Amino acid sequence: GAVVSQHPSWVICKSGTSVKIECRSLDFQATTMFWYRQFPKQSLMLMATSNEGSKATYEQGVEKDKFLINHASLTLSTLTVTSAHPEDSSFYICSGVLAPDTQYFGPGTRLTVL
Amino acid sequence: AQSVTQPDIHITVSEGASLELRCNYSYGATPYLFWYVQSPGQGLQLLLKYFSGDTLVQGIKGFEAEFKRSQSSFNLRKPSVHWSDAAEYFCAVAPNRDDKIIFGKGTRLHILP
């Protein structure tokens, strides 16, 4: 099956710094990628929809200025958590859509903000 | 608004026993339904999906699910579980085939030896 990778797999940063997470579709082109957030022992919550070459669409309650998403190519989307705070600590998961209809999920990135 | 309910937070079954994980959805139109499994340290893996057609869907690893429109349910079943099936299972719904997915809260499956 298709593979989606994320880098880094885990990151620890200081409060106030910014962190960039990469999501790559390794063997397919993903016009659409999704970013999810998962708190410990909870479900995945959709943060935003990322379309190649256009602005991301954010879900209600997600701060677009805090979670910057860039989908610069058909195989790469990035999520930058700006001015991170401890409450941003979470597990971030991306997925890429392999046309016509199958989403493949990355392994996730564990972010810890001290 | 779409929603997915997984009423069981934890389920424990003995190895070799049958399994059924419950899932109910709320959606006005015909939903696109999924079951995913998440193992510790691993990404989400699609077990099966229902878009249309036969309401009994076969998936990977011996899993199957049945779509019942009258009950708004999409329960996951396996006739005989293996210790390696211990994981978190998520039921999910999407409005379109390639659209954002709404996940249930998950059911953690524990297997007794």
Best to test chain A binding among B47, B50, B100, B102 (most A CBs inside 10 Å): B100
3-class SS shares of chain A: helix, strand, coil, % to 5? 5, 55, 40
pLDDT value of position B91? 97
What distance in Å separates residue B98's CA from the closest CA in chain A? 4
pLDDT (tens digit per residue) in B7-66 = 999 999 999 999 999 999 987 777 899 999 998 777 789 999 998 889 999 999 999 999
Q: Is B103 in Cβ contact with A43 (below 8 Å)?
A: yes
A35 pLDDT higher than 80: yes
Q: What tens digit of pLDDT does each residue of A59-75 get?
A: 999 999 999 999 889 99
A105 touches chain B (CB under 8 A): yes
Nearest to B43 among A99, A102, A107 (CB): A107
Size of interface A-B (CB pairs under 8 A): 47
What is the model's pLDDT at position A76? Answer: 94
The verdict on a CB contact (< 8 Å) between B51 and A101 is yes
| Contact at CB, A43 and B36, closer than 8 angstroms | no
The 3-state DSSP class for residue B23 equals coil
- How confident is residue A22, by pLDDT bands cut at 50, 70 and 90? very high
> Using one digit for the tens of pLDDT, what is the confidence trace for B56-111?
999 999 999 999 999 999 999 999 999 999 999 999 998 877 778 899 999 999 99
B43/A32 CB distance under 8 A: no
